[in-house]
Structures are given as structure tokens and as C-alpha cells.
Amino acid sequence: MVGKIARRSFLIGAAAIAGGVALGYYTYRKPFPNPLDDELSGGEATFNPYVKIAPDNTITVIAPRAEMGQGVETTLAALVAEELDLDLAAINVEHGPVASAYANIAILRDGLPFPVFDQSTLANLARDGMAVVGKFLAVQATGGSTTTVDAFDKMRHAGAAAREMLKAAAAKEFGVAAATLTTRDGKVADPASGRRLTYGELAAAAAKLAPPTEIALREQAEWRLLGKPQMRTDMLAKVTGQPIFGIDVDLPDMVFGTVRMNPHLGGALVSLDASEAEKMPGVIKVVPIRTHLGNGFGVIAKTTWHAFQAADAVKVEWGQAPYPADSAGMWQVLTDAAANSGSVMRNDGNVAVEFADAPRERLIEAEYRVPFLAHAAMEPMNATAQFKDGVLDIWVPNQAPSPLRTVCAREAGIAEAKCNVHITYLGGGFGRRLEADYALYATKLAQVADGRPVKVTWTREEDITHDTYRPAALGRFRARLDEAGMPLAVDLKVVSPSIMASVLPRFYPMLAALGPDKTLTDGLFNQPYTIPNYRVAGVKADLTVPVGFWRSVGNSVNGFFHEAFMDEIATAGGIDPVELRKRLMAARPTAVKVVEKVAAMSNWGEKLPAGKAKGFAFVLSFGSWVAEVVQIADTPQGIRIEKVWIAADVGTALDPGIIQAQLTSAAIFGLSAAMGQEITFAGGMVEQSNFHDFDVMRISQCPEFEVAILENAPEMGGVGEIGTPPSLPALANAVFALTGKRIRELPLNKEVTFA
Amino acid sequence: MQLTVDGKPIEIDADPDMPLLWALRDLAGKRGVKFGCGIALCGACTVHVNGEAVRSCILPVGQVDGPVVTIEGLSTDGKLHPVQQAWLEEQVAQCGYCQSGQIMSAVALLERTSEPTDSEIDAAMSGNLCRCGTYPRIRAAIKRAASIKAGA
């Protein structure tokens, strides 16, 4: 058995181990077991956690990340297929089981308080150390735009290792040296003799061989798939209405349910009267739910609609929430917290000295605000759970299956090994589906469903009013300009509830988030500007509204803050906004090139007809460098966004078609928020409930897009979120250019009307 | 209760007040039809009744007075509908959740207007939300579908 594990196991990449010694070199080097060993059927053979091959030449690649629209299934499969010399159409792609072998190492490295361009010894030691920690924690999660960065080496290695093992098996068969063989279209060929064997014919023997210790990966110049737009592996299912989402799960004997949790978030369930509801047709039972994530009740019924109807008829008394009852009270908490100095995340020069004697006429001071935001994924929260014979099965569209399993198994009082999590496609994620609440409540209903599976679907109203919101934030900024109008000193402070302090106890109630929360100042402290005196501080506000990761996280707040304030500096100093960025980022050629690219694409500086204007913004986030220009027009119906130009440097572009789609998608996500989205509170509850009061951009509002993808950056960056941060300030800056109104609080429709 | 769905008669035991959406999804197994908002604001549940695009989440099943076509009934003889083919060629979908509804709305638009302009596309499609922001490719796919149909 030991031999089998050793043979079939797989070494995670070749991460440096500078910090690894303290944690145990041996444990770190020990490979994770291959979870596919337990899942083989029909004579399949597995080579490592990413590849299995059946005798009939059915080749399955595991893409163990959440497919929520960002195209990771396609690109991850392409990493393996590239090295196996296969076309994407020739393979099956599966999410696979939840397992330590699929831990996301990159996601933890990105939590460190170092900008991506900081290549100091300290920063790199910390990154290597975090890679080690990541392997010990073995969290399988999709987020932080880390998927391709994390997978780039290890999944290509997986494909290459399998290829070399197949060649070695064929070499034995043919009696020739493996190096003389070629691979193409699922076959190993001996060019000298013309003999060929399929991967399927070789797989059983090949998988018994030792994996190669040294593997040469394909040179970038030889890539057939990577670097070129691929047909998405999920597209056909998505245009033909296949039942691929969590909400589509269908199991024998399944019943349907819904939940209504206390809308005073964090409040108790005081009393419940289900007597009317339980008499309604189609209702099986109404059950109270009390968990550390929320209190309320669930309904189990014959159909989802019956469950919805019955839930409306339940009489319930809710306990109060632990936060101020309305938005005004919450802003007061943030305003009060602004008196604190917070954690200083960047401190170049001597800001205090520069502001002490700053002349009034060279001083700019501004206060900025952004609201709470809901995710509003198109597929409402849902999960299907079955608890039978001590085993809990959960079918769920989720981004973080291993922490989800921890939470649900703990609630059910079973070992994690007795909890199977099955990940479906996600009808949107955006960070909302990193949470486990909806799976936890399904678990509670499954515990009282007599062993039957229960599909638990939330209403849209439940979804909007029980989110883990993008936190509201307050920015207090000042700048001192020099005689040429350039910033001599900037002092930036952001105040917001801490995402990490909210998230961590939801998964690990015993853990407290200590120290600074990098997400608070992400997009503010780590921008590639050189300003002689540059201070950035983050203050955690003590506000217990549940907050979480929302596409681009802190960058969605601070991208707006930083870049709208830069626009103010440009205006006050009489310098063109693009010219200002080029001067401030002159030491970062990657940044200058994207700025110049987007300026050229958009013909920045051209004279526009009356009633039109452009705005510019640049944000470095998730290791990628992105500049955007938004052009707007004044129309009788209001401001119309006409066109958006995006230039993004992602280092290495693995699939330009998908990257183009993601940049556009993320910009629309940001523009939707900037135009009109906000979550507000009254009476202790969220006031918005559906798309009539939390709308998203409609096709009739959608601008034209022009996208350029650059590859000058030395490291590969993320893709899924990077288009969002610059979109909000670019729009706000365009509104200033058009109307002269410097709007410092989102959404912009508080002050202007959009068509 | 008798319904004709995707060309086949089906028998379901539904309260006439039950929205068509839930009758299709939970009783008839037509899970290609999606639940998004429940109040006809997002279009994810769009199906055709008597050839017209309707929001099935607010239409009581008892009021359905003609054949219902869902995304699952668009392809015939194993061949994709021109709109589905265009969606595939333009690589429209991201998460894909809204796309059943988008495609059903687009099919209805092209039945009425064989070569829609941008503003006709905007008018016909603005009831269909896409949180992934696939709108630019939806516009391109509708135009491509129009030309596929014209060439057919």
C-alpha cells in the first residue's frame, strides 16, 4: 500500500523551501496521495491527481477549481492537454473530488503585505514560507485570481509526467529508446517503424512506472493551445441548457426546501409559529435552524414553490442585530474610527513633516465613501444535502470546498472523511460562493429529512438580504503639491470593517484575525507610483455586518479611492491625468506601457465634441497591470457610457479569448456598481431585496469595448478580477470631465443620472 | 394537468397557481429553465408559450394556453438552433446561468425581426440580465445568428 501511494503520488511543483525547514522538511516534501486512486472505474489508470486514462482511450483531466464563468476549466485543461499533445476536444474535464492534492498554494502567498513588484529578500522569503504553509493547510479554493498562477507549473508537469510515462511504456513494447518516440492525437508513435499504440492501450502499464524526476516542459514557442483562444470546454452545455448548476441537481427520492434566516444579521431566532405553514399543501416540515452563521428556519416540501409559499406563512419573531440599526449609524462608526491611526502599510519619506508646513494653496484634502454591496450572482444560493447512515453528501456550487467540508462536517458531528462534497458549475461566484452558509443550512435540513436528499434554494430576496457584503469604506486623503503641480506628499487613510476578521470566524470560530488585514488597503498601499512622501494606513472599524470577498476585494474600494484622488491631484496641479501617471510610474516600465497603450487606443487627448468626455484610471491588482479609459456622453435620458478601452499586462496570456472576456466582464461588474449599486440598512435589516432596487447593468446600457492584452510583466498575473478596480474611478473621472462634479461617494447616481 | 412542452405532451400534477417555472423545473424535469428573481426582472426563466417569449416565473401554469418551448427543445434532429450555433461560435457564455433565457429571448427577437439593429437588440434583450457582462458577445451572436438564418 505504501508502495502504491509512493508510486502514484505527485510532487507539488518545485516550490523553494526557504521557510520550510522550521515546519519540517520531510513533511513538506512528502507528496499528497492521489485522490483518483479511490475513484477509478472500468480499467482506468491514473498517473497523478490530474490525469486518468481508460483502456478505450477516454482521457480525463481534473480541473479542480470552481468554474464560475471565468473559464478556468478550459485553461486548466489546456495546461495538461498541451503537454499530453492532445486537443481540448479529445479530453473529458472534471472538477474531481475535494482533496489536499488540489490545495491552492498561490492564494495564501497573495495575502502577504508586499506589493507584487517588491522583489526584496524579505518579500521573497515570506512568499516561499507561505507556499510551505499553504501546503500544510491544503485549502482547496478558487479566488484571488490565483488559479492559473497556481496551476501553471504543476498542471503542465502533470501532463508532461503522464506523457513521459506513456512513452516509457511504449518504448518497452517497441524495444526502442523512449526519446525516439513521438506523441500526438492520443497515440505514441515510433517514427522509425510506423508502429503506434494509443494512450489507452498503454495506460495500465505506464501508470505502474515511476514518474520521471526531471521533466522538460514544452517551450512557449512550441505551444499549440496555450497562448491562443480555445473553444471553451463548458460552452456547448451552456448553450443547450444542460442541468449543470447546483440548482439543477436531481437525485432519487429528492425533496425540496428553502430557508428564511433572520434578516437582522447575527440576531437570534426568538420564536417560531409554523402551525399555518405546516397545514399547507405540499409541505413536509418546518424546522428551526440555529447555527453560528445564522438563525432562522427551513421548510422541506414537495417542490421549491411549495417551500417558498409555506415560508411566507411562518410567523416568526427575530432577535436584533449586533450592529447599528441604520446606515447613518454605521457611517458614524466609520467616522469615529477614522480618529485612529490604524496600521501603516506604506510609509515612504516623511509625510508628517511635509504636511506640517504645507501652504494652503498647495494642499488638497478629500473624504471619499463607498457603500456596502451585494454579489447578486445570477444563480441564487443553493445546496443539496443528504445525510444517510452517518455519511453526509453535499452537492454545491462553491469556491472553497475544503473549508466548506470542515464547517458542515463539524455541524453534523461527523469526521470530515464522512463528508463528500461534490462541486457543480457555479452560476456566478464573485466571492459570494467562498462562503459555506448555504451548504450549512442544507446540512441542517438534511439531518431531519429521514435520509432523503434535500435541495435547498434561496429566494432572490433571501440572497440579497443575507449576503456577506463588500464592506462600506471611508477614505480620508490629503496631498501636498510641489511648485510644478506634482504630488510631493500623499497621506491616505482608509477605514472599513475587516473582511478577514469577518470571514475567519465563519470557518474557524476559535480563530481570531490578528494583525493588519491586507485586504483593507489592497489597491492603496501597493500601487507602483513613486511619490517622495507616501503614507497609507488602514483602520479596522468595529462593525459586525457580515462582510466578505467581492470581485477584486479591497481593490474595488481602493482602486476607486486612489485613482479618483489622483485625478483630483492632476486637476489641481494642472497636469493631464495620463501624463501624471506616466511621470509617477516612470520607474515601472510595465505600468508606463499599459498607460501609453490605452492612451493610444482611445486617442486620449483628442478634442471631443461638446457633451462627451473621457476618464482614465490605472490599478495594479492580483499581479496584473491594468489601465482603462471610459468615454461618456450627455444624452437627454442621462449619461451614457459609450466606450471603454482596456489595456492589461498579465505577464503571460494563457488564453487571450478568455482574458478578453474576463476584462470586459469585470469592467461591467465595476461599472454596474459605480453607476447605481448600494446596500443600505434600516431597522437593522438590508433595505434592498431584488433587481428592482439592486440592479445591474443592462444590455441597453452596455458600452462598446476595445481590449489590448500585453505581456511585458516579468511574472504571470491574475485575470478574473483585474478589470474591475480601474473601471469605477475611470467612470467617476469621466463624469468629472463631463460635468465638473467631483463625486466622492458611490454610487454616482446619487448625483447624476445614467441613461 | 396536460401541457405540451418541447413538442411532447406531458401530464403534471400541479396547482394551477404554481408558476410555470416551477412546474417545468421541479415537476417536468426541465431544468434548463432557470430561476433568477421570481418577479420577472431578470429573464433567466424565459420560455416560449405560443411562440412568444414569456417570463415563466410569474405565469401561473393554469393560464398556459399553448405549447411551451424551453431551451431544451430548441435543437432539432441533433442540430443546434442557429442562435445556439451563433452563441457557440461567438463563445458568449461565461457562468452560463442566464444564457438559457438570453437565447430564448434572442430566438423570439429573430422570429419577429430577421435583421435587428443595435437598438432593436437592446430593446428586446434589456429584460435579460447577465451578471458576467456577456452583452458585447450577445450582440455579436445575435447578428451572427441573423446571418446564419439568412443563409439557411
Give me the interface pTM, i.e. the ipTM: 0.98
Q: Which of A379, A661, A672 sits opposite B94 (nearest CB)?
A: A661
What would the pLDDT profile of A597-638 be if each residue is shown by its tens digit?
999 999 999 999 999 999 999 999 999 999 999 999 999 999
The whole-angstrom separation of Cα A682 and Cα A94 is 45
pLDDT value of position A5: 32
Cβ contact B95–A241 (<8 Å): no
Cβ contact A665–B132 (<8 Å): yes
Question: How many C-beta neighbours within 10 Å does residue A4 have?
Answer: 12
Cβ pairs A/B, distance under 8 A: 168
pTM of the shown model: 0.95
Site of grid cell 526584496: A120
pLDDT value of position A29: 54
pLDDT value of position A513: 57
Which stretch of DSSP H or E encloses residue A216? none
Q: Which residues of A touch B135 (CB under 8 A)?
A: 668, 697, 699, 702
Cβ contact B134–A697 (<8 Å): no
The whole-angstrom separation of Cα A633 and Cα A170 is 65
Which cell goes with A606? 483628442
Q: What is the mean pLDDT of residues A71-81?
A: 97
The whole-angstrom separation of Cα A96 and Cα A37 is 12
Q: Which of A240, A429, A668 sits opposite B84 (nearest CB)?
A: A240
The whole-angstrom separation of Cα B107 and Cα B83 is 6
What would the pLDDT profile of B24-74 be if each residue is shown by its tens digit?
999 999 999 999 999 999 999 999 999 999 999 999 999 999 999 999 999
pLDDT value of position A114: 84
Q: Is the pLDDT of residue A373 over 50?
A: yes
What would the pLDDT profile of A540-576 be if each residue is shown by its tens digit?
999 999 999 999 999 999 999 999 999 999 999 999 9
Which cell goes with A517? 488585514
The whole-angstrom separation of Cα B143 and Cα B110 is 9
Q: Which residue in A42, A43, A34 sits closest to A5, CA to CA?
A: A34
Cβ contact A700–B122 (<8 Å): yes
What would the pLDDT profile of A649-703 be if each residue is shown by its tens digit?
999 999 999 999 999 999 999 999 999 999 999 999 999 999 999 999 999 999 9
Q: Is the pLDDT of residue A12 over 50?
A: no
Q: Which residue in A601, A593, A671, A580 sits closest to A632, CA to CA?
A: A671
What would the pLDDT profile of A139-166 be if each residue is shown by its tens digit?
899 998 899 999 999 999 999 999 999 9
Q: Is the pLDDT of residue A117 over 70?
A: yes
Q: Which residue in A137, A135, A139 sits closest to A17, CA to CA?
A: A135
Contact call for residues A36 and A46 (beta carbons, < 8 A): yes
What would the pLDDT profile of A316-336 be if each residue is shown by its tens digit?
999 999 999 999 999 999 999
pLDDT value of position A111: 75
The whole-angstrom separation of Cα A673 and Cα A474 is 16
Whether B137 has its CB under 8 Å from any CB of chain A: the answer is yes
Strongest mean pLDDT among A20-29, A121-130, B10-19? B10-19
Least confident of A24-38, A215-229, A668-682: A24-38
Which stretch of DSSP H or E encloses residue A634? strand A624-635
Q: Give the residue on A whose Cα is nearest the Cα of B29.
A: A250
Q: Is the pLDDT of residue A13 over 60?
A: no
Interface probe for A, chosen from B20, B24, B26 (most Cβ of A below 10 Å), is: B26
Q: Which residue in A231, A184, A201, A189 sits closest to A86, CA to CA?
A: A184
Whether A423 has its CB under 8 Å from any CB of chain B: the answer is no
pLDDT value of position A512: 62
Burial B22-58 (b: 16+ CB within 10 A, else e): bbbbbbbebbbbbbbbbbbbbbbbbbbbeeebbbbbe
Q: Is the pLDDT of residue A19 over 50?
A: no
Least confident of A107-111, A146-150, A272-276, B3-7: A107-111
> What are the backbone angles phi and psi of residue B68, rounded to the nearest 5°?
-105, 135
Q: Is the pLDDT of residue A277 over 50?
A: yes
pLDDT value of position A6: 32
The whole-angstrom separation of Cα A155 and Cα A50 is 7
In A402-470 the beta strands, taken as DSSP E runs, fall at: 419-423, 454-457
Strand-pairing partners, residue B48, are: B53, B69
Q: What is the mean pLDDT of residues A567-592?
A: 98
Strand-pairing partners, residue A256, are: A301, A455
Q: Give the residue on A whose Cα is nearest the Cα of B73.
A: A240
pLDDT value of position A127: 81
Q: Give the residue on B whose Cα is nearest the Cα of A303.
A: B26
Whole-number average pLDDT of chain A: 93
The whole-angstrom separation of Cα A529 and Cα A533 is 11
Contact call for residues A643 and A631 (beta carbons, < 8 A): yes
| Sequence-distant (≥ 6) Cβ neighbours of residue A137 within 8 angstroms | A103, A108
The whole-angstrom separation of Cα A196 and Cα A200 is 12
Cβ contact A690–B15 (<8 Å): no
pLDDT value of position A31: 76
pLDDT value of position A11: 30
Contact call for residues A734 and A613 (beta carbons, < 8 A): yes
